[in-house]
């Protein structure tokens, strides 16, 4: 059965304190992996698509990487406006959303 | 502006009273989908549509109906709502169902409470 987990469930960082979020998945025939950001009460907002192991993508303070079993979202020198829930979503013939990591960045 | 529009944003209703949540996209996307989001359970797919007149069940379709008569619209229908359908609902669209550089575009959500 396809599964996706994310850790930690919640993360609290001081402004400027870099860290990483983990997405672990068991999906046969991975066709891609999405990362989304979701603000409270709003719809998820697309960040990245990764297609193959070894691939990396960056956007401002965020960098996403992909291995055969995991994806990481690295956050460098975060700011309070980076506070949100981050969702990963591996795909085979359907998109499977993880439960998310709730990130709080404290000024 | 490219967007997915859901209405209403908030809805409180009583058990058994039929309701429809509308979803419209202006990006000419082929694929549209409905999700519900509940604490601790994440986003779960209710129904999806690959194109006009083509719909299929997702992971949690019980108690819901959909239709896709036009490419831009994908309404979600609850024929007889029950309290366990209280949730946050999202409509999403994409050019493709599982790949694409732009991922899914989500609506702003509909918070439904069934009492």
pLDDT digits (tens, 9 = 90+) for A41-78: 899 999 999 999 999 999 999 999 999 899 999 999 99
Which residues make Cβ contacts (< 8 Å) with residue A55, sequence separation at least 6? A65, A66
The predicted pLDDT at position A38 comes to 97
Q: Which two tokens stand for residue B41?
A: 């359970």
Q: pLDDT tier at B99 (50, 70, 90 boundaries)?
A: low
Write down the mean pLDDT value for chain A: 94
pLDDT (tens digit per residue) in B52-68:
999 999 999 999 999 99
Distance, in Å, from the CA atom of A104 to the CA atom of A72, rounded to the nearest integer, reads: 17
Distance CA A78, CA A62 (A): 9
Check: CB of residue B28 under 8 Å from CB of residue B42: no
User: Does residue B50 sit at the A interface (CB-CB below 8 Å)?
Assistant: no
Instruction: Write down the pLDDT at residue A79.
Output: 98
More confident residue, A35 or B95: A35
Interface residues from chain A to B (CB-CB < 8 Å): 31-32, 34, 36, 41-47, 49, 51, 87, 91-95, 97-100
Query: Contact, A27 vs A95, CB < 8 A?
Result: no
Residue B98 touches chain A, beta carbons under 8 Å: yes
In chain A, the N- to C-terminal Cα span, in Å, equals 41
Q: Looking at the complex, does the CB of residue B8 fall below 8 Å from at least one CB of chain A?
A: no
For residue B33, which of A90, A87, A6, A97 has the smallest C-alpha distance? A97
Q: Do B90 and A44 touch (CB under 8 A)?
A: yes
Question: Is B7 in the A-facing interface, judged by CB distances under 8 Å?
Answer: no
Q: Distance from A36 to chain B by nearest Cα, in Å?
A: 9
B65 to each of A10, A33, B61, how far by Cα in Å? 35, 29, 8
Query: Does the CB of B42 have a partner CB in chain A at under 8 Å?
Result: yes
Which residue of chain A comes nearest to B111, CA vs CA? A41
Contacts of residue B88 in chain A, CB cutoff 8 Å?
41
Q: How far is A2 from chain B (nearest CA, A)?
A: 13
């Amino acid at each position: 059965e396809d599964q996706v987990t994310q850790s930690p469930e919640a993360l609290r960082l001081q402004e400027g304190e870099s860290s990483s979020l983990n997405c672990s998945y068991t999906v046969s025939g991975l066709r891609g992996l999405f990362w989304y950001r979701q603000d409270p009460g709003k719809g998820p907002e697309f960040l990245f698509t990764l297609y193959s192991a070894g691939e990396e993508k960056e956007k401002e303070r965020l960098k996403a990487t992909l291995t055969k079993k995991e994806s990481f979202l690295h956050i460098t020198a975060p700011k309070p406006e980076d506070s949100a829930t981050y969702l990963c979503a591996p795909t085979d013939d359907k998109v499977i959303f993880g439960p998310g990591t709730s990130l709080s960045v404290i000024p | 502006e490219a967007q997915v529009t859901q209405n209403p944003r908030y809805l409180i209703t009583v058990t058994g009273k039929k309701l429809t949540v509308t979803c419209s996209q202006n990006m000419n996307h082929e694929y549209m989908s409905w999700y519900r989001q509940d604490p601790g359970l994440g986003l779960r797919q209710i129904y999806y549509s690959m194109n006009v007149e083509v719909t299929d069940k997702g992971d949690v379709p019980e108690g819901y109906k959909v239709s896709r008569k036009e490419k831009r619209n994908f309404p979600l229908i609850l024929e007889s709502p029950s309290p366990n359908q209280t949730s946050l609902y999202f409509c999403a669209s994409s050019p493709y169902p599982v790949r694409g550089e732009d991922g899914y575009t989500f609506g702003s959500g509909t918070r439904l409470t069934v009492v």
